[in-house]
Structure 1
């Protein structure tokens, strides 16, 4: 373990993770999502797939804490329970797939998912009809699988809620709480599969400090009346992170 920690500290580009954690926290603070979409494309350039995901998990366990209490008052509880249950069941399948994914492909998957989700959001999709419970379970299952294989459980859930005609505060609260619960589930499954490496967990906790600062600042800045402004800022940071992580840059 000491050798791994020394090797980790000597990793080229490690200093970029602090600013990436702050930017990711800022986006999540005022939009309720986006931590992985901003952080993982950067981390995938520096850490191994499991290292990047573990750092993200433990960073996210700390960073959203300033905003969780306020979010509980607005959350869609039935949806949260369905999403959590189905994600729990499909998440280990994604982790098993990840064990067979090389780092170069992991990096490409992460950046591709971030850009694909951004494109759909920018298209302005809106879902006007009621969503049956089975559909919510399916969305949670897809979220669990993607969370296991790429560390990105958010895209299916985010697209689902951003496309629904709900008030911004309710959307933000439900996504924020679901992603926090998902991190707890992923931590448990990682430990069960023997991938919970203490050095990466500690790195994530350290990154949780700038992440928490970003979350706090984003939460203070959030104003439902300026929803368009915050969405635009979030989309810009996601695009910047995803494009920077594409293998075409070397």
Structure 2
């Protein structure tokens, strides 16, 4: 397990820059935190620490959005998503705990690039959004989120084709990811995986991550959504490629 004292200045700067960039992308595009942060964090953190620092730095980020989002939440769907995640997340975390760092980085890059491809090509779930399908989406998101720290793709691709209006979709995704973060923290605590070093790092990264979110929100100009999405896609693509272990001879 990574210890706080073992970190070099360059590694700390990389993590802070990754958190800042991830927050900025979320601020102007509305998504992308894990897709930008995890490939870069995996370069200097073991898999468990990378996921733990992500969820800890992200647990307070959505708080300002929750009161407004709460008015639009579809509680039934949200409960089904979270129920499916509760079932599958322990299995995903068990896989994460046993995962080789190099393989983790490859998986994170693969999921990030697949998500990016799906967004660019407009992939959508075409079936009916019945309760069992929503629970199944939560199961898929829970396992994927456990093993890679990226639970969003199943939820986003299913919900983008749902009959719910956009405010409901945004609200459910926001509350789902907020619940996922706290589930990961709770399950890692039960598993004895909350090492002091990564916990302190994750909490410290709240600051650059929130500054990035504020910066991205300030940079956003209505009417240029396509340009912001393209910028987000470029940053996600660059982070995914940079995070591959092929660039470091020691891996």
| TM-score, scaled relative to structure 2 | 0.89
Query: Does structure 2 conserve the Cα–Cα contact (< 8 Å) formed by 1:26 and 1:218?
Result: yes
Corresponding residue number in structure 2 for 1:4: 3
Residue in structure 2 matching 1:140, options 118, 138, 141: 138
Once residues 40 and 94 of structure 2 are traced to their aligned partners in structure 1, the CA distance between those partners, rounded to angstroms, is 23
Q: Which piece of structure 1 moves more, 82-91 or 214-223? A: 214-223
- SS of the residue corresponding to residue 62 of structure 1 reads coil
Residue in structure 1 matching 2:112, options 96, 114, 117: 114
Map residues 1-250 of structure 1 onto 2, 5 A cutoff: 4-7=3-6, 9-10=7-8, 12-127=10-125, 130-164=128-162, 167-219=165-217, 226-250=224-248
Q: Which piece of structure 1 moves more, 184-193 or 30-39? A: 30-39
Once residues 24 and 166 of structure 2 are traced to their aligned partners in structure 1, the CA distance between those partners, rounded to angstroms, is 17
Once residues 137 and 27 of structure 1 are traced to their aligned partners in structure 2, the CA distance between those partners, rounded to angstroms, is 29
Query: Does structure 2 conserve the Cα–Cα contact (< 8 Å) formed by 1:33 and 1:154?
Result: no
Map Cα deviations across residues 51-95 of structure 1 (whole Å, 9 max, x no partner).
111110110012222322232233333221111111011100111
Relative distance call for 1:51 and 1:121 in structure 2 (3 A) is same
Once residues 191 and 155 of structure 1 are traced to their aligned partners in structure 2, the CA distance between those partners, rounded to angstroms, is 25
Q: Which piece of structure 1 moves more, 119-128 or 217-226? A: 217-226
Query: Does structure 2 conserve the Cα–Cα contact (< 8 Å) formed by 1:67 and 1:219?
Result: no
Q: Which runs of 5+ in 2 are unaligned?
A: none
- SS of the residue corresponding to residue 37 of structure 2 reads helix
Deviation of the 1:125 alpha carbon: 2.4
Map Cα deviations across residues 27-49 of structure 1 (whole Å, 9 max, x no partner).
22344432111100000001011
Relative distance call for 1:123 and 1:75 in structure 2 (3 A) is same
Cα RMSD after superposing both structures: 2.4
Relative distance call for 1:181 and 1:21 in structure 2 (3 A) is same
Q: Which piece of structure 1 moves more, 221-230 or 26-35? A: 221-230
